[in-house]
Amino acid sequence: MGIVSLVDVDNASDEVKEAVKKHLEDGHTITNEKRTLLHNVPAFLALEGKSYEMSAELQKFISPRAANLFEYAISVENDCLVCTTYYKKYMESIGIDINNVEYTEEEELVIEYAQAIVRDRKNIPEELFDRIKERIGEEGLVVLTTMGMFMIANNYFNDILHVQSEFV
């Protein structure tokens, strides 16, 4: 059971209902993590809204599939049950068997970076940075890293507050 209750969207404040309505209109779902965040709309918008914005920005530099695999790899490396089950379920919904994936060079590169930033953020090999900058440039590296930080924040939020996955 979570440390913080899940917001009952149907009986929430108008501010919460409006945030949920916009989120759903944008094509997103309401998960247990989001129902926890909705105790405070600015917190919800900061973590969820901006992470979706960064994910869209990232897809200017790498493929949508690579972006999703990057986010999944961070969650796996962080051992975040909520995010790994969410991404595994999402991957299945778009026809990817996460246990049987043939990765592209791009996907291997971003997965390697995902694992590196979670394992030892202060000692990422210079040659890894060079390979990423060669592929997506400095701006792409900034966007990739920022998206990684949002995923780590999501992972930590879920783990710290014991948010329960709706997929387990």
The tens digit of pLDDT for each residue in 5-42 reads 999 999 999 999 999 999 999 999 999 999 999 999 99
Q: Where residue 1 falls among pLDDT bands split at 50, 70, 90? A: confident
pTM above 0.75, yes or no: yes
Amino acid in the structure at residue 69: L
pLDDT in tens, 44-91: 999 998 999 999 999 999 999 999 999 999 999 999 999 999 999 989
Residues 6+ apart with CB under 8 A from 1: 162, 164
